Amino acid sequence: MKPIHVGLLGVGTVGSGTYTVLKRNQQEITRRTGRNIIIRMIADLDQEKARALVAGDDVVVTSDALEIARHPDIDIIVELIGGQAIAKQAILEAITHGKHVITANKALLANHGNEIFAAAQQRNVIVAFEAAVAGGIPIIKALREGLAANRIEWIAGIINGTSNFILSEMRVKGLDFSTVLASAQQLGYAEADPTYDIEGIDAAHKITIMAALAFGIPVRFDQTYIEGITKLANDDIRYAEELGYRIKLLGITKRTTNGIELRVHPALIPVKRLIANVEGVMNAIIVKGDAVGPTLYYGAGAGAEPTASAVIADLVDVTRLLTSSPEHRVPVLAFLPELLSDTPIIPMEAVETAYYLRLQVTDKPGVLADITRILADSEISISAMIQKEHADGEDKVNIIMLLHKTREKNINTAIEKIQNLPAMADKIIRIRLEELGS
Amino acid sequence: MKPIHVGLLGVGTVGSGTYTVLKRNQQEITRRTGRNIIIRMIADLDQEKARALVAGDDVVVTSDALEIARHPDIDIIVELIGGQAIAKQAILEAITHGKHVITANKALLANHGNEIFAAAQQRNVIVAFEAAVAGGIPIIKALREGLAANRIEWIAGIINGTSNFILSEMRVKGLDFSTVLASAQQLGYAEADPTYDIEGIDAAHKITIMAALAFGIPVRFDQTYIEGITKLANDDIRYAEELGYRIKLLGITKRTTNGIELRVHPALIPVKRLIANVEGVMNAIIVKGDAVGPTLYYGAGAGAEPTASAVIADLVDVTRLLTSSPEHRVPVLAFLPELLSDTPIIPMEAVETAYYLRLQVTDKPGVLADITRILADSEISISAMIQKEHADGEDKVNIIMLLHKTREKNINTAIEKIQNLPAMADKIIRIRLEELGS
The dihedral through the CA atoms of B352, B358, B361, B365 has a sign that is positive
The packing angle between helices B106-123 and B201-215, to 10°, is 30
pLDDT of residue B277: 96
Average pLDDT over residues B166-175: 96
B315 chain-A contacts, CB cut-off 8 A: 149
Q: Between residues 191 and 220 of chain B, which touch chain A (CB distance below 8 Å)?
A: 216
Q: What is the CA radius of gyration of chain B?
A: 24
pLDDT of residue A328: 44
How much of chain A is helix, strand and coil, in % rounded to 5?
40, 25, 30
Average pLDDT over residues A194-198: 96
pLDDT confidence of B327, banded at 50, 70, 90? very low
For residue A30, the chain B residue with the least C-alpha distance is B335
pLDDT of residue A337: 63
B331 chain-A contacts, CB cut-off 8 A: 32, 34
pLDDT confidence of A327, banded at 50, 70, 90? very low
Give the percent of chain A with pLDDT over 70: 94
For residue B247, the distance in angstroms to the closest alpha carbon of chain A comes to 17
* pLDDT 10s digits, A304-317: 999 999 999 999 99
Average pLDDT over residues B375-390: 89
For residues B42 and B50, the answer to whether their CB atoms sit within 8 Å is yes
* pLDDT 10s digits, A219-265: 889 999 999 999 899 988 998 898 889 999 999 999 888 889 899 99
Average pLDDT over residues A139-143: 95
For residues A302 and A173, the answer to whether their CB atoms sit within 8 Å is no
Q: Do B137 and A291 touch (CB under 8 A)?
A: no
> Which residues is B398 bridged to in the sheet?
B360, B388
For residue A302, the chain B residue with the least C-alpha distance is B292
pLDDT of residue A63: 97
For residue B120, the distance in angstroms to the closest alpha carbon of chain A comes to 18
Is A364 a residue of the active site?
Answer: no
CA–CA dist A339, A124 (Å, integer): 17
**Which residue among B99, B141, B206, B248 is the active-site one?**
B206
Q: What mean pLDDT value characterizes chain B?
A: 91
pLDDT of residue B365: 79
Of A11-20, A38-47, B148-157, B384-393, which range is least confident?
A: B384-393
Q: Is the pLDDT of residue B80 over 80?
A: yes
Q: What's the angle, vertex CA A189, arms to CA A187 and CA A193, rounded to 5?
A: 105
The minimal CB distance from A296 to the residues B25, B298, B310 is found for B298
CA–CA dist B229, B195 (Å, integer): 10
Q: Is the pLDDT of residue B328 over 60?
A: no
For residue B279, the chain A residue with the least C-alpha distance is A274
Q: Where are the alpha helices (DSSP H) in B74-176?
A: 85-96, 106-123, 139-141, 161-173
Q: Between residues 21 and 60 of chain B, which touch chain A (CB distance below 8 Å)?
A: 21-22, 24-25, 28-29, 31-34
CA–CA dist A120, A114 (Å, integer): 10
A271 chain-B contacts, CB cut-off 8 A: none
| Phi, psi (rounded to 5 degrees) for A287 | -120, 125
The minimal CB distance from A324 to the residues B25, B137, B325 is found for B325
Mutate to test the interface with B, among A292, A312, A315, A320 (most CBs of B within 10 A): A292
* pLDDT 10s digits, A53-68: 999 899 999 999 999 9
Q: Is the pLDDT of residue A334 over 70?
A: no
The minimal CB distance from A145 to the residues B22, B311, B313 is found for B313
Contacts of A162 (CB under 8 A, 6+ apart): A184, A189, A190, A191, A194, A197, A198, A202, A281
CA–CA dist B244, B233 (Å, integer): 17
pLDDT confidence of B335, banded at 50, 70, 90? low
Q: Do B323 and A328 touch (CB under 8 A)?
A: yes
Burial B169-189 (b: 16+ CB within 10 A, else e): bbbeeebebeebbeebeeeeb
pLDDT of residue A323: 58
SS3 label, residue A390: coil
Closest of A117, A124, A138, A39 to residue A325, by C-alpha = A124
CA–CA dist B12, A186 (Å, integer): 58
Q: Do A293 and B277 touch (CB under 8 A)?
A: no
Strands (E), A47-116: 60-62, 76-79, 100-103
For residue A309, the chain B residue with the least C-alpha distance is B149
pLDDT of residue B391: 64
Q: Do B312 and A291 touch (CB under 8 A)?
A: yes
Average pLDDT over residues B412-428: 95
- DSSP assignment of A418-430 equals HHTSTTB-SPPEE
Q: Is the pLDDT of residue B326 over 60?
A: no
CA–CA dist B174, B165 (Å, integer): 13
A-B contacts (CB, under 8 Å)? 234
For residue B160, which amino acid is it? N
Average pLDDT over residues B144-151: 94
* pLDDT 10s digits, A94-117: 999 999 999 999 999 999 999 999
pLDDT confidence of B257, banded at 50, 70, 90? confident
CA–CA dist B125, B332 (Å, integer): 10
Contacts of B368 (CB under 8 A, 6+ apart): B399
* pLDDT 10s digits, A343-394: 778 888 988 899 999 999 987 778 999 999 999 999 999 999 988 776 666 7
What does the longest C-alpha to C-alpha distance in chain B come to? 83
SS3 label, residue A394: coil
CA–CA dist B228, B244 (Å, integer): 22
Q: How far apart, in Å, are the Cα atoms of B348 and each of A27, A435, B213?
A: 29, 43, 21
Strand order of the sheet with strand B4-9? B60-62, B37-43, B4-9, B76-79, B100-103, B127-128
The minimal CB distance from A306 to the residues B130, B293, B316 is found for B293
Q: Is the pLDDT of residue B314 over 50?
A: yes
User: Hey, is the C-beta of B172 within 8 angstroms of any chain A C-beta?
Assistant: no
Mutate to test the interface with A, among B35, B143, B145 (most CBs of A within 10 A): B145
For residue B101, the distance in angstroms to the closest alpha carbon of chain A comes to 17
Give the percent of chain B with pLDDT over 70: 94
The minimal CB distance from A325 to the residues B136, B324, B327 is found for B324
Domains in chain A (CATH in brackets) are 4-136+304-339 (3.40.50.720), 139-300 (3.30.360.10), 351-433 (3.30.70.260)
The minimal CB distance from B292 to the residues A149, A306, A330 is found for A306
Q: Do B335 and A306 touch (CB under 8 A)?
A: no
DSSP state of B12: S
pLDDT of residue B322: 81
Q: Are strands A352-362 and A429-433 parallel, antiparallel or unpaired?
A: antiparallel
User: Hey, is the C-beta of A324 within 8 angstroms of any chain B C-beta?
Assistant: yes
User: Hey, is the C-beta of B223 within 8 angstroms of any chain A C-beta?
Assistant: no
Q: Do A136 and B22 touch (CB under 8 A)?
A: no
B277 chain-A contacts, CB cut-off 8 A: 274, 277
**Which residue among A206, A248, A254, A288 is the active-site one?**
A206
* Burial class of residue B192, CB neighbours in 10 A (0-12, 13-18, 19+): exposed
User: Hey, is the C-beta of A138 within 8 angstroms of any chain B C-beta?
Assistant: yes
- DSSP assignment of A311-329 equals HHHHHHHHHHHTTS-GGGS
Average pLDDT over residues B190-215: 94
Q: Between residues 391 and 430 of chain A, which touch chain B (CB distance below 8 Å)?
A: none
Q: Is the pLDDT of residue A333 over 80?
A: no
The most confident of the ranges A209-218, A297-306, A353-362, A426-435 is: A297-306
For residue B317, the chain A residue with the least C-alpha distance is A145
User: Hey, is the C-beta of B309 within 8 angstroms of any chain A C-beta?
Assistant: yes
Q: Which residue has the higher pLDDT, B197 or B239?
A: B197
Closest of A1, A40, A142 to residue B336, by C-alpha = A1
